[in-house]
Amino acid sequence: MRLVDNLKDIEDYYLIISGNGTFPERVIFKNLCKKFNGYNKAIFYINPPLKKQTGLHALNALPLYPKKYHVNSIIFILDGEHIQENAKIEIQRHLESIGIGISEIIPLQRAFLIKCNSGPYEIFLFCTILGPEIFIEEEVANLIKLKLGVTIDLSQRKESAGRKLIKNKLKKVLRERGKTIEELISDTRKTKLEEIFPNICAVLKELEGEQ
């Protein structure tokens, strides 16, 4: 499985949209994809066409994708900080508020697949909550602890200033050790990665098994 930067000569692919920024999500997805079978299965990461649409609002463009990109399998990734209490309920409510019909919700670890429709288009929406509580850097911190033996203090992760400090600390540790996230993922067994990034891996495993 591979994350691609363009769709030249690619006919079948999954679309990935984010309610967050693109780093380190893009780097993590690109390297986790390599751990799962199915080289011909491509994932295309795009920036939402509606500007300044973060969090659940990144889903507001969902009705545009099937017609514009000719794709109905979409991965939505979101940091846990954008969820108040229950991701499944909050995402469902938001989809319904923009006219998306829900037919079925299938759990995939703490991720889930929402089978839904927008007008005549059927959509398979794979929802991946990162963190697992606040932001994906929590999972990166666990990877660093496993591979480099360095413990990152996450106690301030619920504060905006604290999250910035944690991000800077992660970058500093990687820089001091001369390592990159790509290298750490590449050097880690798939089973361990499934423990560290359970929701992302649950979705990729589901895609891996699709015909």
Kindly write down the DSSP assignment for every residue of the chain, as one continuous string: -EEES--TT--SEEEEEESS-STTHHHHHHHHHTTSS-TT-EEEE---SSTT--GGGGGGGGGGHHHHH---EEEEEEEGGG-SS-HHHHHHHHHHHTT-EEEEEEEETTEEEEEEEETTEEEEEEEEEESSSS-THHHHHHHHHHHH------TTTTSHHHHHHHHHHHHHHHHHHT--HHHHHHTS-HHHHHHHSHHHHHHHHHHHH--
Give the pLDDT of residue 21: 78
φ/ψ of residue 124, rounded to 5 = -110, 105
Give the pLDDT of residue 51: 67
C-alpha radius of gyration, the chain, whole number: 17
Give the pLDDT of residue 54: 86
Question: What domains can you pick out in the chain, each with its CATH number?
Answer: 2-133+197-209 (3.40.980)
pTM: 0.92
Give the pLDDT of residue 211: 62
Give the pLDDT of residue 112: 97
pLDDT under 70 in the chain at which residues?
38-39, 48-51, 211
